[in-house]
Amino acid sequence: MKSWFRKYLNRSGFATLMAAKAIVSPVALGAHGLVVNRDGRVLLARHSYMRGWSLPGGGVARGEPPDVAVMRELSEELGTIRADPPVLLGLYTRRSGWATNVVVLYKLSNAEVDFRPSREVREILFADPANPPRGTASGTRRRLAELLGQPPSPYW
């Protein structure tokens, strides 16, 4: 067999394998913000499509850098936000139905938000990370504990 043809088969076989893997085991990338105001309180959002309080954020578009995505998502969900540039805190995984989500978490310090309710976020509050409100999502509680010095978990 000619070497160019063998390379073609290897490459096309690999591409086919990766396409099949994407169908069988899809991974979605998201970016969320740990938005902290000057008083050290953390912004929590009440989303229209889920119960309780959680960190704001959403999906990363194809080819979009996660730090750009988190700022876009915060703007879409919350309105105008002024803060220090986002600082990468970590990567986390979670299963969501048939997919795996990988969440990129950024901290935005010294934040001020001119909130306007949106289709996605109905309400926000700045909470004491040591005493989050009742109904705060478990992944959000883990991130708040990490902010206060607890050992990190790789799971959202």
Query: What's the pLDDT at 105?
Result: 99
| Residues in contact with 34: Cβ distance below 8 Å, sequence separation at least 6, in sequence order | 42, 55, 89, 105, 106, 107, 108, 143, 147
Half-sphere exposure of 80 (CA within 13 A, CB side): 2
| 66-99 per-position pLDDT tens digit | 999 999 999 999 999 999 999 999 999 998 777 8
Q: How many beta carbons lie within 10 A of that of residue 116, not counting itself?
A: 10
Q: Which domains does the chain have, with CATH numbers?
A: 26-147 (3.90.79.10)
pLDDT at 18 over 60: no
- What CA–CA distance (Å, rounded) separates 110 from 86? 11
Q: Which amino acid is at 16?
A: T
Of residues 90, 97, 92, the one with CA closest to residue 25: 97
Which among 11-15, 93-97, 122-126 has the top mean pLDDT? 122-126
pLDDT at 10 over 70: no
- List, in sequence order, every beta strand (DSSP E) within 17-98: 27-35, 42-47, 53-54, 57-59, 79-82, 87-96
- What CA–CA distance (Å, rounded) separates 132 from 126? 9
Of residues 148, 151, 156, the one with CA closest to residue 41: 148
